[in-house]
């Protein structure tokens, strides 16, 4: 037998005082949980001969508070926190030496120690597990900076004859980056290569660092990087993405290998608003590829004009080439993989 709704309400009201329920938020003021100090931005790839910074965010729990920070072993720097904000940030100098370091942040509520790891580019395995807000971290969430040498093509040509030639590896080729998917298909489909899709709207080259953190054994005989157009869809591309080219080359050199390195230049975007950013990025990638010894696969030339390569119907386009244009890009990649 079911009780009328009125009787059920009265019954619950009578039972509630006897139940061990937590207090109502309306009766007890809440306790705010403040975010701890943390690194928010850091260079994923840094050159050993440059000065770089990392950004650190600090909570401001009240007016008139003081703080300090400094790397362990260094003299701390006093900080005056703002009175009109609940959160502030600043830049700390990075000492670009391999190893794990900790930034001590002294706050009114106690000390906080923020770890950061600097890793040489030539390491066989990069300790990069994932991206946090677009920046690489290790398995424990510690920020990782890869330390690279600045490319010096002139000096390398001078000493080329004295260098011992490195063998080309024999492992299966690797494709990394943006697979340029359109209508459920991709130029990567069916290719004789290990595919490692890696995309990020803001920093796609950081996603590639995650994808390449571990290399296959034996090392790949060919590596193709496809940057895609994701970066220019949300603004201008990060100018530091070209550093990936020298970084990858340096890593293979440290491992005693010389695979064929191929840069698959992105196809042209359909939107006219992206044309200038696309061309500027293309020129930057071409220049760095020339400096670092990467060969070029021009996916824009293989696909043809975006107005036809990306067309689905009347005034309807895909983000990347489809149909016959997609097949032409795939054929170009397939031909490169057999070299």
Q: What is the 3-state secondary structure (H, E, C) of 275-325?
A: HHHHHHHHHHHHHHHHHHCCEEEEHHHHHCCHHHHCEEECCEECCCCCHHH
Is there a cis peptide before residue 307, judged by omega within 30 degrees of 0?
no
Q: Quickly list H helices, the chain.
A: 5-15, 153-158, 204-211, 230-233, 243-254, 275-292, 299-303, 306-309, 323-337
What pLDDT does 25 receive?
Answer: 58
Q: In the beta sheet, which residues pair with residue 225? A: 176, 263
Q: How many Cα atoms within 13 Å fall on the side-chain side of residue 246? A: 23
- pTM across the whole model: 0.87
Which 3 state secondary structure label does DSSP give 137? strand
What pLDDT does 183 receive?
Answer: 97
- Span 77-110, pLDDT tens digits: 999 889 888 999 999 999 899 999 999 999 988 9
**22 to 25, 26, 28, 31, 316: CA distances (angstroms):** 9, 11, 10, 15, 56
Residues (pLDDT < 50) of the chain are 1-3, 158-159, 161-162
What pLDDT does 32 receive?
Answer: 75
What pLDDT does 7 receive?
Answer: 56
> Furthest-apart CA pair in the chain: how many Å?
96
What pLDDT does 53 receive?
Answer: 97
């Amino acid at each position: 037998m079911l009780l009328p709704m009125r009787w059920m309400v009265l019954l619950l009201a009578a039972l509630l005082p006897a139940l061990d329920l937590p207090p109502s938020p309306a009766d007890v003021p809440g306790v705010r949980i403040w975010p701890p100090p943390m690194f928010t931005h850091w260079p994923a790839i840094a050159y050993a001969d440059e000065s770089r910074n990392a950004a650190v965010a600090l909570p401001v729990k009240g007016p008139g508070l003081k703080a300090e920070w400094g790397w362990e072993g260094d003299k701390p720097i006093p900080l005056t926190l703002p009175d009109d904000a609940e959160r502030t940030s600043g830049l700390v100098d990075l000492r670009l030496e391999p190893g794990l370091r900790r930034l001590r942040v002294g706050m009114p509520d106690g000390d906080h120690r923020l770890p950061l790891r600097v890793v040489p580019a030539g390491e066989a395995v990069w300790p990069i597990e994932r991206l946090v807000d677009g920046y690489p971290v290790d398995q424990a969430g510690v920020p990782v900076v890869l330390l690279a040498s600045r490319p010096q093509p002139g000096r390398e040509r001078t000493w080329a004859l004295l260098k011992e030639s490195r063998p080309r590896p024999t492992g299966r080729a690797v494709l990394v980056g943006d697979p340029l998917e359109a209508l459920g298909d991709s130029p990567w489909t069916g290719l004789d290569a290990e595919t490692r899709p890696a995309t990020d709207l803001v920093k796609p080259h950081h996603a590639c660092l995650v994808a390449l953190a571990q290399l296959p054994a034996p090392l790949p005989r060919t590596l193709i990087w496809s940057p895609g157009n994701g970066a220019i869809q949300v603004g201008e591309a990060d100018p530091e993405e070209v550093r990936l080219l020298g970084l990858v080359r340096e890593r293979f050199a440290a491992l005693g290998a010389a695979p064929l390195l191929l840069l698959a230049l992105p196809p042209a975007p359909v939107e006219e608003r992206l044309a200038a950013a696309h061309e500027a990025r293309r020129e930057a990638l071409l220049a760095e590829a020339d400096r670092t010894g990467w060969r070029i696969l021009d996916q824009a030339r293989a696909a043809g004009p975006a107005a036809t390569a990306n067309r689905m119907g009347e005034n309807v386009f895909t983000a990347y080439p489809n149909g016959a244009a997609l097949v032409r890009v795939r054929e170009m990649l397939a031909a490169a993989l057999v070299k």
